[in-house]
Structure 1
Amino acid sequence: MTQAQSIPKTRWAVLGPGQISRDFVVGLRASEHGMLHAVGSSSAERAAAFASEHGAAASGTYDEILARDDVDAVYVGTVHTTHADLAIRALEAGKAVLCEKPASPTLAEVERILETAERVQRPFLEAFKTRFGPFADTLRELAAGGELGAPQRFEGAFGFDAVIHQGRLFDPEVGGGAILDVGCYPLSLAIDLAAAAGRPIDPEYRRFDAELVAGVDGTASAELTFGDLTAVIATSIIENLSDTGVLTFADAEVVLPNVWGSRTESPSQLIVRRGADERVIEVPVVQPMGAEADAVSFALAEGRVEVPQMPWAHTRAAARVLADWRGAALAG
């Protein structure tokens, strides 16, 4: 019997029946080892409606769902400021947790989550879909391999025009702003590349910049150094930014078209340029949210509390930078 065949289906509960949770359910259907079983919300009525729409067997309030013994794992898809409380409650109820990024707006709350996961010995994964699949694996191999020389610089941005400056993205009370919502993606990739290359993952800061819109960081940029690897990253919720990343090595440049992929497909292409020579690397795509769910299933089956694609050390490093970057932005 293979490992895939021997893993029982993970019975998932979704906490927070919003749009991101709808996307997670799509990913869960594409996963090999997960199934939607329950839906929890602060409103039992909203939970029931979501459960009916997506075919979940059970629904109820958060407390009702976390008290169930037929739930193995929970997906936390609520607003940023509620992540820590729900993740900790779920862990203490004996569930594995996949928590949407960022794990929390503050480093102190992230530490509370991870301390709880360690104490109760249940898996916790911060949901960075970009960490999963052949594209992410190939990038790590290039950063680690030495084939292209030492990695020297990463440039990446994630930004979109929200058009209407309302709702959670522009609400400071729920952690609105570009840095927490999408700036975390280029930061997380920079940390991943630094780790793969054997560089420190806790960077030094060269600069933070931001523009406030409606009391939140509408745009922001940062320059960080991971030892001798420099990362220049940018983010926005008021402007569409290029989704092409560039990783510069001593002897080559790797261009990353569509570096973030989508919620249904991971990126499929890397372009390696050495002088006038250009080599296109095509890689298979995966359903990245389904891959996250399967990573939690493997951790449960193997008795691990961490997932290697997104270890807790990376969650801690990202939380520190996000808090400092956002703090600098809001301080003006």
Structure 2
Amino acid sequence: MTPTRWAVLGPGVISRDFAVGLAASKYGMLHAVGSSSRERAEAFAREHGARAAGTYDEILAREDVDAVYIGTVHTTHADLAIRAVAAGKAVLCEKPASPTLVEVERILAAAARAGRPFLEAFKTRFGPFAQTLRDLAAGGDLGALQHIQAARGSAAKTRTGRVFDPALAGGAILDVGCYPLALAIDLAAAAGQPIDAPQYRRFEAELVAGVDGTASVELGFGAVSATIATSVVESLSDTAVLRFADGEVVLPKVWGSRVESPSSLMVRRRGSERVIEVPTVQPMAAEADALSLALADGRLEVPQMPWAHTLAAARVLTDWREAALAG
């Protein structure tokens, strides 16, 4: 397969991690870097061996760019994604795709019109660990999936910067709460439950510097319920629990890292425990390759994170954040 020529838009910290992942991918190569600052783009290109650098407009106008990775702040995702697909590029956009459901719908409509693939970058959706969870949720020895309990949170060193800026859609819900939500949506869908009409049971939040510093939600997707918590001001457990009719699955270090997916899970049933070990992947490489394959095959969506899941996540994130900011 002809290598996908990638451009990074937004040469920040997360984009550096993506560049490392892309170097380990099977089907992609970093070719160009775009930024609102030409100097920053050129510095990033030198650091990671990209051949071209320039402003966003200059990079999107290049015919030798096949796909773009958007690693900018949340509030810029929609504009860049829509411009990119209109320019004929496939798009891998950091989560959340945009702060509101309306904006996410605009992105997907633009991708459909342009006939270009779009993928929301949930690296946790890729690899054997994620597929093992889907297989368990689909039913088997443990019976029906009933409940998902998951959290993601850490204590920021300062109360400044993007995460604490209301104008940049800061806060825990969009920044890290989207991870346990995406897990719940993935597994509820694998269990055959509807994900497009969530039932909300409880919202809680504490505002810090005008954004949601901590937040939690209890909700249901059909017969599967979920309890989700998130924070940017305190560390939360990275162990998730899936409860089934006939047992439970414990997921230590459920989120893995930016360089390696999780490797183990524990199945508990009727007083017995067994640990399942699975191979790991470089998750950012895996999501890049998934988009490359979609582009090569002429598909608009990636099965590990289809558009229906992006819309479902945007719906809950929008409602959850509105409830949090309303107090």
Normalising to structure 2: TM-score of the pair? 0.99
Q: Does 1:312 align with 2:294?
A: no
Q: How does 1:141-180 map to 2 (within 5 A)?
A: 141-180=135-174
How far did residue 163 of structure 1 move?
A: 1.9
From 229, 240, 249, the equivalent of 1:245 is 240
AA of the residue aligned to 1:312? W
Q: Does 1:331 align with 2:326?
A: yes
From 274, 281, 288, the equivalent of 2:276 is 281
> What is the percentage of aligned positions where both structures have the same residue?
77
Match of 1:259 in 2: 254
Separation in structure 1 between the aligned mates of residue 207 and residue 81 of structure 2, nearest angstrom: 30
Separation in structure 2 between the aligned mates of residue 74 and residue 13 of structure 1, nearest angstrom: 5
Q: Does 1:11 align with 2:2?
A: no
AA of the residue aligned to 2:63? D
Q: Does 1:133 align with 2:127?
A: yes
Query: Which runs of 5 or more structure 2 residues have no equivalent in the other structure?
Result: none
Q: How does 1:105-144 map to 2 (within 5 A)?
A: 105-144=99-138
Separation in structure 2 between the aligned mates of residue 88 and residue 254 of structure 1, nearest angstrom: 40
AA of the residue aligned to 1:228? A
How far did residue 145 of structure 1 move?
A: 2.6
Match of 1:33 in 2: 27
Q: How does 1:6-85 map to 2 (within 5 A)?
A: 7-85=1-79
Separation in structure 2 between the aligned mates of residue 39 and residue 276 of structure 1, nearest angstrom: 54
| SS across alignment from 1:145 | coil
Separation in structure 1 between the aligned mates of residue 47 and residue 144 of structure 2, nearest angstrom: 50
How far did residue 114 of structure 1 move?
A: 0.2
From 191, 194, 205, the equivalent of 1:197 is 191
Q: Tell me if the contact between 2:139 and 2:145 (Cα under 8 Å) persists in the aligned partners.
A: no
From 85, 89, 95, the equivalent of 2:89 is 95
Separation in structure 1 between the aligned mates of residue 189 and residue 140 of structure 2, nearest angstrom: 14
Separation in structure 1 between the aligned mates of residue 141 and residue 42 of structure 2, nearest angstrom: 53
How far did residue 98 of structure 1 move?
A: 0.0
CA RMSD of aligned residues (A): 0.5
Separation in structure 2 between the aligned mates of residue 208 and residue 275 of structure 1, nearest angstrom: 33
| SS across alignment from 2:110 | helix
| SS across alignment from 2:138 | helix
Separation in structure 2 between the aligned mates of residue 206 and residue 321 of structure 1, nearest angstrom: 12
Query: Which runs of 5 or more structure 1 residues have no equivalent in the other structure?
Result: 1-6
How far did residue 220 of structure 1 move?
A: 0.2
Separation in structure 2 between the aligned mates of residue 235 and residue 27 of structure 1, nearest angstrom: 26
How far did residue 75 of structure 1 move?
A: 0.1
Aligned residues between the structures: 326
